[in-house]
Amino acid sequence: MAVDKEKNVQVLVTFPKEVIEKIEEYWHDQKLKNRNEAIRELVVNGLKKVKKDS
């Protein structure tokens, strides 16, 4: 599936292996489609928490 470049921006991010292991555990526990979906969900949830806490 092509990325809608009007609405989305692709970025390359490097994570330590330990973080990837935790992301993949989250991905499988939540039964998400792929790792990218897990990363997006974690980032959105983290941003909501930061906003709520500030």
* pLDDT at residue number 54: 86
The answer to whether residue 6 sits within a structural domain is no
Q: How many domains does the chain have?
A: 1
The answer to whether residue 3 sits within a structural domain is no
| pLDDT tens string 7-36 | 999 999 999 999 999 999 999 999 999 999
Q: What share of the chain is helix, strand, coil (3-state, %, to 5)?
A: 60, 0, 40
The answer to whether residue 11 sits within a structural domain is no
**pLDDT bucket at 1, cuts 50 / 70 / 90:** low
Mean pLDDT of the 28-45 span: 97
Least confident residue range of 3-7, 28-32, 33-37, 39-43: 3-7
Which residues span the domain enclosing 25? Answer: 17-53
| Distances, alpha carbon 44 to alpha carbons 14, 38, 49, in Å | 18, 10, 9
